[in-house]
A and B are shown apart, each in its own frame.
Chain A
Amino acid sequence: MIAVDGLRKSLRTGAATVDILKGIDFTVGRGEFVAIMGASGSGKSTLLGLLAGLDNPTAGSVTLNGVAISRLAEDKLAQLRGRTIGFVFQSYQLIPTLTALENVLLPYELNGSPDSTGDAETVGLARARQLLDSVGLTTRLDHYPVQLSGGEQQRVALARAFILRPPIVLADEPTGNLDSANGAHILELLLHLNRVEGTTLVLVTHDPVLAGYAGRRITLRDGLVVGDEAQLPLAAAHLPAGA
């Protein structure tokens, strides 16, 4: 599903060049749940961004579903990304001028219907409502992000990431700005996506407990993969009380 080959990323800051990723190789199979771990500054968020095609690597390539994305034109990349990847940001990144319902609906409007049956507008709206309902925000459809708590915003972001049923969900510290109860709820939703819907899930975190729910752990240090091991994932029953 995801193939990374010789991936490098360097940045120029003033006169100096900083090597963030120094040669990354790995693959992720369909339906896998991979946690990418590492200390702050290890390059994990940069790696996740490159997997989503949010930037161009300095060297190497990323292939999604057999398509090499590293050299795709920007608009083609955006379209591929819209249909293939759902992205969950650490700081939610909702559009402040759109309501919760409109934020969830946005990918649908941008990329069209994933299936050709039914009236697109009606189907999209129904799906958006259903998703928000499933994340417990039935009564908050017409609220703006500024009127929602952090946990509620992240749930909206999750619903938005999944409205088109993307085969891949990338999540960058999705619980980083949340309290433990909200964090557990989000994790539960992600696990449901992976274990029940079969979505490939790549999650960046510095939290080893969160990483414990993944079936595979990739560890980065100083821009290199220093560990890549399969593990027995924790059951959902291990989620903290109140989730």
Chain B
Amino acid sequence: MPALSFRTAARIATRELRSSRGKFAFVILSVAIGVAALTGVRGFSSAFRATLLLRARSIMAADIAARTTTPPTPGQQAALDRLTAQGNRLSPVTELLSMASSTTSLDPLLVSLKAVEPADYPFYGSVVLQPKMPLAAALSGTSVAVGDDLLLRLHLRLGDSIKLGAQQFTISSVVIDEPDRLSGSFAAGPRVLLSQAALDATGLLAPGSRATRRYLFKLPPPRPGQPLSDAAVAQLKSQLEAILPEAQISDYREANPALTKALDGATGLLSLMSLVALVLGAVGVAMAMRAHLQQRLDSIAIMKSLGAGSAQVMKIYLLQTLLLGLGGGLLGVLLGLGVQVSFPFFLARLLHLTPSFRVDSHAVALGLGAGLLTTLLFTLPPLLDIRNVRPILILRRAVEASEDPFAQRLWRKLQNSIAQLVASFLILAGLALLATRVSDSREVGGVFAAGLVIVLIVLLLASALTLWLLRQFLRRTRLHLPSTLRHGLANLYRPGNPSAALLAALGLGVMQIAAVYIVQRSIVDEMQVAVSENLPNLFLIDMTTDEVGGITALLVHQPSVHGKPEIVPVVSSRLLAINGTPASQLNLRRNGRAFQGLNLTWPPDLDTPPPGDTVIAGRWWTAAEAGDSATHPLVAIERNRASRLDIHPGDQVTFAAQDDRFTATVAALYEADSRHAFSRAEFIFPQAVLAGLPVVWYGGVHCDPAATAQLRRVLYEHDPTVTVIDVAATLETIRQVLLQITYVIQFLAAFSIFAGIVILASAIAGTKYRRIREVVVLKTLGATRPRIATIFSIEFAVLGLIAGAVGLVFANLLARFLLLHTLHFDYTFQPLLNLACWLTVGLLTVLAGWLASNRVLGQKPLEVLREE
């Protein structure tokens, strides 16, 4: 059989596309949405990563940074001094939380202190201050630079004073930008920048205080014209790892490992969400193509009667699909650039870094390729149906299949089934391939693809069932319903309406965005839950041994304090070995930093576990054993920590605190109830084991919520060096961060619902001609336009309400699963939220339906009848 030339096929394909411009415009848009989301996410991620690399040194403010939470031992300090003697420059940065007060405000404020050496810091980039001045001048003597939010909250201006610890300081300038803000600790309060000498003067930095120390290093400059060698960087890095084994050490080439890891994870997650929108777009193309082929049955039958084979005819419509996919892809790439530019707006408060705009060719290629692939794959099933079109359709529309012999019917059915099965397998494989590519994980890609297909099938079945139930209801109540309502409902079953598939697509979009919103609300709402009488709502950190007695006495006599304050001693330590095997040689999954930054403590009572802890293995020590523990150290370990470290009762565990080392026998494993201050401790010793080691005290107290501000003032006046964290205020800060993150997720989830709405509009546009004919008949029979509009509005609204209901049911199921089993939060059904979502979907579908029904009402009846 001679082949249909590409030119002829292309001519037929493009002419048909041109004649159905309006209908296919929606199809192109539905593809574009998914491509835009994917390209935007990947483009932003790539631009952000490129900016991180480009400004790596500035972001770190150094060539290498070592981050630790414990002060260096004398030996370590000596080793660091030797490094600087070799020509490396060192600039220490100390970050901690503290309380600040002013005469203009009654309440002390939790602030994020950052102490630097102004002469050296930063090695790269610069601190931007207002008014402009050198950093050394801004931080000279008792001057500090502060964030503008501190000025607002404490009602201060430049030149006013604030008190930090035991020292008064003058505010010399406002910090506009710090180059290493991203590399620093999470700022739980407004920023205060001061010199190291000034920090020492405050008395806040007691031994054992919870401060983060970053040692910034700048290597000696290389020969002129030569870049800094990687070998030199690697050598200094390995020296630092030997000197500070408990520190996290990174060089400028890694930028911020935590940040890039988070960026990779977020990019993967958001890319998968974009893939959902892309799949929906492809479903829309498939539905539109199926409807289009239905309308082209005559043309196909004519071509076949003239001698064209199925493959030749399929070539035409395959070309059409390709053109649609390409058109949607190109439009999507353009829109994706807009998405890429909008991300910094959502994440401004989190990122402190605006990536420069650049078009990433890989992101563009991925988006375009994904758009084309999904479009082609999902259109396969309707294209395969072209093989079933028989030429006799020209003469007789209702060609009965039963006219053929049974064997022929069976063989044709088998061929169709096999072909559709192969098409389905290709769709699944293609989806898995795409998901693997965007998530960089074969496992995640496979699970995502299978999960998405299963969800689509389930939604399809649920939608079909709902439509069937509605039809039964309609059958039984038909003539008892108002005629407008009856007509609107009956229109759901209009020939050519792909109602169930349409509802499934729209339902998936609703499900995605509603699930994100329900999870976000549940997490954020739980953070606002009123603290129970038994839970502390104020935490005190960094109390010294000298202060703890006085503070405890003060708290006990406060009328607003309920119950006994829980005061916990903490010794900073690290784990050296388990049963003689050094920590570095232990083969544990995800051990990471499990051996570093350990907090050791002792119980209030000699021979019983602290309040809230229950022994689950081994036994707690007796008073005699506690007394003897200086020579025979014992330790009790929290269950989850023991499990991660693979430790059991009877094991020997070696610890180091400062320059001291000791080995303790594991006496017991315990479980904490998470309601007491001691619940944070994971290693409990008899007091005698930790005697003589530097101790910092932490406490938790429950106070009347209305009196927390007053209690904070009293504590600050008594001991200004003690940091008091109001749980409610801190939760509010975390809540704001979470909200920002979820805005991005919601933004992307909105693409899916937008894709669903576009598919709806496309399907409605596909039945436009039938609607016009219906409008003509109704007008002829005396229906006014408002009446006709009401009928169609009911049809659109019911479509949206059914899709909304199906989507919300599954959104709640998904959210429940995620909250209870993955995120470990409570799930509560939120009726008002669900109702609002449901009604919003109904309204959106009515709007989309009318958008797609442009000019349907305005057609003159005779114009349409004349065309028949």
Contact = CB atoms under 8 A, between A and B. Distances in A.
| Residue of B486, B490, B781 contacting most chain A CB atoms (<10 Å) | B781
B238 interface: no
B777 A75 contact: no
Interface stretch (A44-52, A218-226, A234-242): A44-52
Interface string B759-776: 000000000001001101
B773 A55 contact: no
B69 to A, nearest CB: 71
Interface in A37-86: 45-46, 49-50, 52, 54-56, 74-75, 78-79, 81-83
Interface in A155-213: 160
B495 A49 contact: no
B787 A110 contact: yes
A91 B483 CA distance: 24
Contact of B778 (A56, A105, A110): A110
A49 B865 contact: yes
A55 B783 contact: no
Contacts of A28: none
Contacts of A107: 781-782
Interface string A108-139: 01110000000000000100000000000000
A87 interface: yes
Contact of A54 (B479, B773, B784, B865): B865
Contacts of B777: 89, 93-95
Contact of A81 (B782, B865, B866): B782
Contact of A98 (B487, B773, B776): B487
A97 B781 contact: no
Contacts of A146: 495
B85 interface: no
B493 to A, nearest CB: 6
B490 A97 contact: yes
A97 B491 CA distance: 6
A125 B861 contact: no
A78 B778 CA distance: 9
A79 B860 contact: no
Given A79-B784, A82-B783, A110-B781, A97 B865 contact: no
B779 interface: yes
A219 B766 CA distance: 40
A233 interface: no
A123 to B, nearest CB: 13
B493 A97 contact: yes
B82 interface: no
A96 interface: yes
Contact of A95 (B478, B774, B787): B774
Contacts of B478: 99, 102
Interface string B486-528: 1100110111000000000000000000000000000000000
Nearest to B479: A125
Nearest to A107: B781
Contacts of B784: 75, 78-79
A46 B770 CA distance: 21
Contact of B494 (A96, A109, A111): A96
B861 A55 contact: yes
Given A46-B862, A55-B861, A97 B782 contact: no
B294 interface: no
A137 B493 CA distance: 24
Contacts of A55: 860-863
B362 interface: no
B785 A160 contact: no
A45 B486 CA distance: 32
A56 B860 contact: yes
Contacts of A90: 868
Contacts of A110: 483, 778, 781-783, 787
Contacts of B860: 54-56
Contacts of A24: none
Chain A interface, >50% SS class: helix
Nearest to B786: A75
Given A97-B490, A98-B487, A146-B495, A91 B868 contact: yes
A106 interface: yes
B780 interface: yes
B490 A87 contact: no
Nearest to A83: B782
| Residue of A56, A81, A97 contacting most chain B CB atoms (<10 Å) | A97
B780 A87 contact: yes
B490 A75 contact: no
A54 B486 contact: no
Interface string B850-866: 00000000001111011
Contact of A46 (B782, B786, B866): B866
Contacts of A98: 487, 490
B782 A89 contact: no
B861 A49 contact: yes
A43 to B, nearest CB: 11
A75 B494 CA distance: 25
| Residue of B770, B787, B862 contacting most chain A CB atoms (<10 Å) | B862
B780 A52 contact: yes
B862 A111 contact: no
| Residue of B493, B494, B779, B782 contacting most chain A CB atoms (<10 Å) | B782
A51 B861 CA distance: 12
A111 B785 CA distance: 13
A93 B493 CA distance: 17
Given A96-B495, A102-B478, A45 B866 contact: yes
A78 B785 CA distance: 9
A101 B783 CA distance: 18
A237 B180 CA distance: 103
A82 B782 contact: yes
A144 B502 CA distance: 24
A75 B785 contact: yes
A89 to B, nearest CB: 7
A47 to B, nearest CB: 10
Contacts of A94: 777
A74 B491 CA distance: 24
A45 B865 contact: yes
B416 to A, nearest CB: 24
Contacts of B781: 81-82, 87, 106-107, 110-111, 160
B785 A54 contact: no
Contact of B782 (A45, A79, A99): A79
B781 to A, nearest CB: 5
Contacts of A97: 487, 490-491, 493-494
B47 to A, nearest CB: 50
Contacts of A93: 773, 776-777, 780
Contacts of B779: 54, 74, 78, 81
A1 B324 CA distance: 55
A52 B777 CA distance: 12
Interface string B784-824: 11110000000000000000000000000000000000000
A64 to B, nearest CB: 13
Contacts of B776: 54, 93
| Residue of A74, A79, A146 contacting most chain B CB atoms (<10 Å) | A74
A183 B861 CA distance: 25
Nearest to B480: A121
Nearest to B492: A97
Contacts of A96: 494-495, 770
Contact of A109 (B483, B495, B865): B483
Contacts of A49: 861-862, 865-866
A74 B860 CA distance: 9
A146 B495 CA distance: 10
A50 B861 CA distance: 10
18 contacts: A45-B865, A45-B866, A49-B861, A50-B862, A54-B776, A54-B861, A75-B785, A75-B786, A81-B779, A81-B781, A82-B781, A82-B782, A83-B782, A93-B777, A95-B777, A96-B770, A111-B781, A111-B782
Q: Which 3 A-B pairs have the closest CB atoms?
A: A82-B782, A55-B862, A49-B862
Interface of B: 478-479, 483, 486-487, 490-491, 493-495, 770, 773-774, 776-787, 860-863, 865-866, 868
